[in-house]
A and B are shown apart, each in its own frame.
Chain A
Amino acid sequence: MSEEYENKSGYQAQSSETITGSAGSTPDIDYVRPAELPEQDLYHGHTFITKWVFCQDAKVIGVQYFLTAVFTGIVGLILSWLMRLQLGFPGLAGFITAEHYYQFVTMHGMIMVVYFLTALFLGGFGNYLIPLMVGARDMVFPYVNMLSFWMFFVAVAILMASFFVPGGPTGAGWTLYPPQTILEGTPGSGMGILLMLVSLALFVIGFTMGGLNYMITVLQARTRGMTLMRMPLTVWGIFTATVLAMLAFPALLVSAIMMTLDKVIGTSFFMPTILKAGEVLEYGGGSPILFQHLFWFFGHPEVYIVALPAFGIVSDLISVHARKNIFGYRMMVWAIVGIGALSFFVWAHHMYVSGMNPWFGFFFATTTLIIAVPTAMKVYNWILTLWRGNIRINTVMLWCLGFIVTFVNGGITGIFLGNVSVDVPLSDTYFVVAHFHMVMGIAPVMVIMGAVYHWFPLITGRLLNETLGKWHFWATFLGAYSIYFPMHYLGFIGVPRRYYEMYDSPYMTSAVGMNEFISLAAFLVGAAQFILIFNIIKTLKTGKPAPKNPWKANSLEWHTSTQPPEHGNFGERLPVVHRWPYDFSVPGAKDDFIPQTTPPSEVVNTKVEKT
């Protein structure tokens, strides 16, 4: 390590700028490359509209994304209540017809995956945290970033508008498989599906604007000393997810465009010859399976677009609250990148029984099970970070522990479904529903909640109430686990998903009680989220002011000039980074944490292994 610095010190002589702080007694060990470029000019809004509405500050945009995504999430939650009402107590709510049920299923799925989770992790946490964590004043293209949010906002508005058009929203299932999606016989096959496709297209366009920002900010706007291998895993997760999204979303966009053309001007990209109500329709020669390939080429990376930021964030939370460095940082980074790359070679594991050439099964089962290896490594490293740590069992840590349990559970069931011939009896049953809710519903939501409790003091300057937080956690975790753990067994019986009603099928008679139980648990878990809302309102009004850096974390977002950080983040001078963000409990150090900005000369007697 010292050789590296000595080598680099050659540059210092050539540079016109010298750095204050490095001219002290030990210039070599504190050396950081001098600034080469002038700082970014920021547009500071002065009116209410430029400050809070059409705002160019990534932090405000992050909060805007967050709140809009949470709004869609609440809509998705209410839809799930309505579905569980029908499934647990069929006929109790007379207004839920089969049409309505399928519309609820579809909108719930699409909202939760795209408009809630994706927007929340990348738009919300990405915008708020990336510039702060890499030591930038803002995203590199603030204006485009602002447009990105408003594009998302319009996409959400159009999506919500589809609830109010004649025929209602689409009820095609969130996968939107043609031909049924655009044919009569599926609810919302008129205006509903068109609005859905337009909304998705706008989402992709808006997301591309944001995604360019996240990528280029991470690559180009890191502060001095912030090497890629010193970035917090949160940034690595969001960055890699953004790269995936930039490659995967175009597939969704083109399939949305092609389907719109099939619907509106009668092309036949996805439409073969079809006989409907005794008449042959004017379609022919298209391939429904082509759509599925395009959809899952987007859809599988999409799973990791949600999962990778969650992996990154949870790594940071565990490390901070276990007062221990993340175990195997390099392995964690390469696992994120490796999972991201592999996620483009596994899509057809969603299609083992789709009627594609069955020989594909061998390839995709193999790639899918390979991806289990880096994923397992991440799990090991999380629990090895806890091992010999000094673990604060607070609300944030509880969410992390809840994440580990649900994620491992959902990951293991993924090995069932990825293993092609095991998938045959289980696909299209409740086993699948239980699996993906556990692994990409509950697990990421656990991380989101942990992140909210963790970063709330940074964003608002107040600490959320711990007691309420713990109630919120246990109600959510125990409730969600008792929804989805038993649900796997419905799948074993063979109960198919997307059934409005089972009538008196022999598979179902034994499961009636379980369905009622699951529904009651679902009502409880949904209601428990209002504890958080109450906690937030209460805290904003009367909450304890948070001390600066309340969790004693190392990463840059806690070392801003003010808390909450102002526009521009870091006051007059950008921070200079001297180490990775995981120097917790370093032997010889006075405190159990050394912030990234602390130069080596200030902690001379410590035994730091990695910088």
Chain B
Amino acid sequence: MHAGIIFFLVILGSILFHIFTPWYWTDIASNWKGMDDTITLTFWVGGGVFVAVCLFMIYCVFKYSYKEDRKAEYKPEDKKLEKILTVATTLGVAALLAPGLIIWNQYVNVPKNSIEIDVMAWQWGWQYRLPGKDGKLGTTKVVNINDDNPFGINLDDPYGRDDVMVQSDIINLENNRPVKILLRSVDVLHNWYVPQFRAKMDAVPGVVTYYWFEPNKVGEYEVLCAEYCGVGHYAMRGGVEVQDPNSYQQWLGEQETFSDLLAKQNKEIETKKVAKNNSKIEKVIYKEEK
């Protein structure tokens, strides 16, 4: 008897916990409301099955606990009941699977008007690259990466010259404009994850992976690394600032492009060359004086 009561309280407690929980998902800030809806649907169907199975079990505990003078029923099989249960379960499972697959289809098909963002990950940090006026990102190679070329852009790729480089772990996004996140890593697995956007995907060294979402709420969000990447994993944070189009354009205009960086470096190289020449001339003069 006690056992049945305690099990019943556990089930009742679970339901009450679900209704009154202060811990639930963060306010969604992207287009993936379908994911939330499928979770809610699965909660109703799955939660219903859980409660029904447990209540039936508790009923059996109350009704059929051991009595010396009673004999259990002897009925090895009930083909009809088993068939009904199989069909009902199959239908229930199919009803949950269908919306899941429909949303996945949206998830893997990126809208044409989305803006591509190169998210580069390493142990332990993020930086971002946006296409310039040509609308295309230049190709990259890990071996190209150095202080003068932080993204490893191929120098002979004309698309790369006007790429906008954001050497910060915070990126700004335009509200209501779909973004295609192109993920790459230079060392180990990482995952660029903003809980409010719901979406995520691993960054894998050696390949470029992608996912997309459309931010729809202006504000600042925290980026978390969601794939274990070594001892600094928990500290690998970043940020996103979703802005209205005007502020976004203004922010975009302030960012440095790859050609800006190259020009700056060339200037530095020129100055270095001049300095070198000067010292050579000085040396020659010195020798001649001798």
Residues of A within 8 A of B (CB): 98-99, 102, 171-173, 177-180, 183, 185-187, 272-276, 278, 280, 285-289, 322-325, 327-331, 353-355, 358-359, 361-362, 365-366, 369-370, 372-373, 376-377, 379-381, 383-384, 386-393, 398, 401, 404-405, 408-409, 412-413, 415-416, 419-422, 424-429, 474, 478, 481, 485-486, 489-490, 492-494, 496, 498-503, 505-507, 510-511, 514, 582, 584-587, 592, 607, 609-610
- In this assembly, does B19 line the interface, its C-beta being within 8 Å of a C-beta of chain A? no
A-B CB proximity, top 3 nearest? A494-B195, A272-B206, A419-B100
A416–B74 CB distance below 8 A: no
Q: Which residues from chain A contact B251 at a C-beta distance below 8 Å?
A: none
Please provide the chain B residues from 152 to 192 with a CB less than 8 Å away from any CB of chain A in the complex: 183, 186-189, 191
Q: Which residues from chain A contact B32 at a C-beta distance below 8 Å?
A: 424-425
Please provide the chain B residues from 9 to 66 with a CB less than 8 Å away from any CB of chain A in the complex: 10-11, 14, 17, 21-26, 32, 34-36, 38-39, 42, 46-47, 49-50, 53-54, 56-57, 60-61, 64-66
Which of A355, A362, A592 meets B204, CB within 8 Å?
Answer: A355
Q: Which residues from chain B contact A412 at a C-beta distance below 8 Å?
A: 46-47, 49-50
A275–B201 CB distance below 8 A: no
Given A183-B187, A404-B57, A486-B17, A325 and B108 touching (CB < 8 A)? Answer: no
Which of A353, A485, A498 meets B228, CB within 8 Å?
Answer: A498
Beyond known contacts A274-B205, A275-B142, A275-B145: 13 more, CB 8 A cutoff = A98-B234, A329-B77, A358-B107, A376-B89, A390-B72, A391-B64, A393-B3, A421-B107, A492-B23, A500-B233, A584-B74, A592-B72, A610-B77
Q: Which residues from chain A contact B285 at a C-beta distance below 8 Å?
A: none
B206–A506 CB distance below 8 A: no
Q: How far is the CA of A330 from the CA of B207 in the complex (A)?
A: 48
Q: Which residues from chain B contact A388 at a C-beta distance below 8 Å?
A: 64, 72-73, 75
**Min CB–CB distance B12 → chain A (angstroms):** 13
Q: Which residues from chain A contact B38 at a C-beta distance below 8 Å?
A: 419, 421-422
- In this assembly, does B103 line the interface, its C-beta being within 8 Å of a C-beta of chain A? yes
Q: How far is the CA of A392 from the CA of B143 in the complex (A)?
A: 69
Give B184's nearest chain A residue, CB to CB.
A355
Q: Which residues from chain B contact A425 at a C-beta distance below 8 Å?
A: 25, 32, 35-36, 39, 195, 198-200
- In this assembly, does B78 line the interface, its C-beta being within 8 Å of a C-beta of chain A? yes
A275–B122 CB distance below 8 A: yes
A274–B202 CB distance below 8 A: no
Q: How far is the CA of A426 from the CA of B39 in the complex (A)?
A: 10
**Min CB–CB distance A293 → chain B (angstroms):** 13
Given A362-B101, A421-B100, A428-B226, A355 and B57 touching (CB < 8 A)? Answer: no
Given A280-B143, A398-B3, A415-B93, A389 and B228 touching (CB < 8 A)? Answer: no
Given A370-B93, A412-B47, A485 and B14 touching (CB < 8 A)? Answer: yes
Give A351's nearest chain B residue, CB to CB.
B202
17 A/B residue pairs, CB under 8 Å, sorted by A:
A102-B228, A185-B230, A272-B207, A275-B142, A329-B76, A376-B85, A386-B57, A386-B60, A387-B60, A401-B3, A421-B38, A422-B35, A422-B100, A428-B193, A496-B193, A507-B195, A507-B222
Q: How far is the CA of A199 from the CA of B9 in the complex (A)?
A: 44
Q: How far is the CA of A277 from the CA of B183 in the complex (A)?
A: 20
Interface string of B120-135 (1 = CB under 8 A from A): 0011000000000000
- In this assembly, does B250 line the interface, its C-beta being within 8 Å of a C-beta of chain A? no
Q: How far is the CA of A392 from the CA of B76 in the complex (A)?
A: 20
Q: Which residues from chain B contact A102 at a C-beta distance below 8 Å?
A: 228, 231, 233
B64–A386 CB distance below 8 A: yes
Q: Which residues from chain B contact A377 at a C-beta distance below 8 Å?
A: 82, 85-86, 89
Q: How far is the CA of A496 from the CA of B233 in the complex (A)?
A: 10
Given A391-B65, A592-B72, A180 and B188 touching (CB < 8 A)? Answer: yes
B26–A288 CB distance below 8 A: no
Interface string of B230-268 (1 = CB under 8 A from A): 111111010000000000000000000000000000000
- In this assembly, does B6 line the interface, its C-beta being within 8 Å of a C-beta of chain A? yes
Which of B24, B36, B103, B206 meets A286, CB within 8 Å?
Answer: B206
Q: Which residues from chain A contact B115 at a C-beta distance below 8 Å?
A: none
Q: How far is the CA of A586 from the CA of B65 in the complex (A)?
A: 18
Q: How far is the CA of A180 from the CA of B97 in the complex (A)?
A: 34
Give A423's nearest chain B residue, CB to CB.
B100
Residues of B within 8 A of A (CB): 3, 6-7, 10-11, 14, 17, 21-26, 32, 34-36, 38-39, 42, 46-47, 49-50, 53-54, 56-57, 60-61, 64-67, 70-78, 81-82, 85-86, 89-90, 93-94, 96-97, 100-101, 103-105, 107-108, 122-123, 142-143, 145-146, 183, 186-189, 191, 193, 195-196, 198-207, 209, 211, 222, 224-235, 237
Q: Which residues from chain A contact B60 at a C-beta distance below 8 Å?
A: 383, 386-387, 389, 391
Q: Which residues from chain B contact A420 at a C-beta distance below 8 Å?
A: 100-101, 104
A416–B49 CB distance below 8 A: no
A330–B233 CB distance below 8 A: no
Q: How far is the CA of A273 from the CA of B222 in the complex (A)?
A: 29
Given A409-B50, A425-B32, A425-B199, A275 and B186 touching (CB < 8 A)? Answer: yes
Q: Which of B66, B76, B142 has most A Cβ within 10 Å?
A: B76
B89–A373 CB distance below 8 A: yes
B35–A421 CB distance below 8 A: yes
B191–A353 CB distance below 8 A: yes
Q: Which of B50, B86, B189 has most A Cβ within 10 Å?
A: B189
Given A180-B228, A369-B96, A486 and B35 touching (CB < 8 A)? Answer: no
**Min CB–CB distance B278 → chain A (angstroms):** 31
B143–A273 CB distance below 8 A: yes
Q: How far is the CA of A177 from the CA of B211 in the complex (A)?
A: 21
B199–A424 CB distance below 8 A: yes
Which of B7, B23, B145, B229 meets A514, CB within 8 Å?
Answer: B23
A365–B101 CB distance below 8 A: yes
Q: How far is the CA of A99 from the CA of B230 in the complex (A)?
A: 9
Q: Which residues from chain A contact B77 at a C-beta distance below 8 Å?
A: 327-331, 609-610
Given A274-B205, A420-B104, A485-B17, A392 and B66 touching (CB < 8 A)? Answer: yes
Which of B17, B56, B73, B103 meets A389, CB within 8 Å?
Answer: B73
A361–B108 CB distance below 8 A: yes
Which of A408, A426, A585 meets B54, CB within 8 Å?
Answer: A408
Q: Which residues from chain B contact A288 at a C-beta distance below 8 Å?
A: 189, 204-206
Q: How far is the CA of A391 from the CA of B262 in the complex (A)?
A: 80
Q: Which residues from chain A contact B46 at a C-beta distance below 8 Å?
A: 412-413, 415-416
B74–A586 CB distance below 8 A: yes
Q: Which residues from chain B contact A405 at a C-beta distance below 8 Å?
A: 7, 10-11, 54, 57
Which of A180, A365, A391, A503 meets B104, CB within 8 Å?
Answer: A365
Q: Which residues from chain A contact B39 at a C-beta distance below 8 Å?
A: 416, 422, 425-426
Q: Which residues from chain B contact A322 at a C-beta distance below 8 Å?
A: 64, 72
Q: Which residues from chain B contact A324 at a C-beta distance below 8 Å?
A: 72-74
B97–A99 CB distance below 8 A: no
Q: Which residues from chain B contact A361 at a C-beta distance below 8 Å?
A: 104, 108
Q: How far is the CA of A429 from the CA of B191 in the complex (A)?
A: 12
Q: Which residues from chain B contact A362 at a C-beta distance below 8 Å?
A: 101, 104-105
Q: Which residues from chain B contact A494 at a C-beta distance below 8 Å?
A: 25-26, 193, 195-196, 224
Which of B21, B183, B200 meets A428, CB within 8 Å?
Answer: B200
**Min CB–CB distance B22 → chain A (angstroms):** 6
Q: Which residues from chain B contact A393 at a C-beta distance below 8 Å?
A: 3, 61, 65-66
Which of A186, A329, A506 meets B230, CB within 8 Å?
Answer: A186
A372–B71 CB distance below 8 A: no
Q: How far is the CA of A506 from the CA of B6 in the complex (A)?
A: 36
Q: How far is the CA of A35 from the CA of B254 in the complex (A)?
A: 90
Q: How far is the CA of A275 from the CA of B195 in the complex (A)?
A: 29
Given A373-B86, A582-B76, A421 and B230 touching (CB < 8 A)? Answer: no
Given A390-B66, A416-B42, A428-B191, A272 and B205 touching (CB < 8 A)? Answer: yes
